[in-house]
Structure 1
Amino acid sequence: MWIPRQTSASQFSAGKMKKVTLVVVGGEQAGQCS
């Protein structure tokens, strides 16, 4: 299946943002727990 470069790039940045969000949320939860 052919995927346009722009699409894969936006999917990559979306995955990056999701990862960052998970790290931030995890850090906040860890701070609340301690």
Structure 2
Amino acid sequence: MPKQRVTDRVKDLAERIRLRAYEIWEREGRPYGRDQ
């Protein structure tokens, strides 16, 4: 099932990107969050 493996890899990559973006967002002081 190579297609399933590719899908899992894409999901894993997307999750890592999302977590990295969230870390940066937290560090930058939530520019779109409670400051507004």
Range class of TM-score, shorter chain? 0.7 to 0.9
The count of residues paired between Structure 1 and Structure 2 equals 30
TM-score, L = length of structure 2: 0.78
Write out the 4+ residue segments of structure 1 that deviate beyond 2 Å after TM superposition. Answer: none
Aligned-CA RMSD value: 1.3
TM-score, L = length of structure 1: 0.83
Identity of aligned residues (%): 3
Which has more helix, going by share of residues? 1
Higher relative contact order (CA 8 A, sep 6+): 2
Question: What are the ranges of 5 or more consecutive residues in structure 2 without an aligned counterpart?
Answer: 31-36
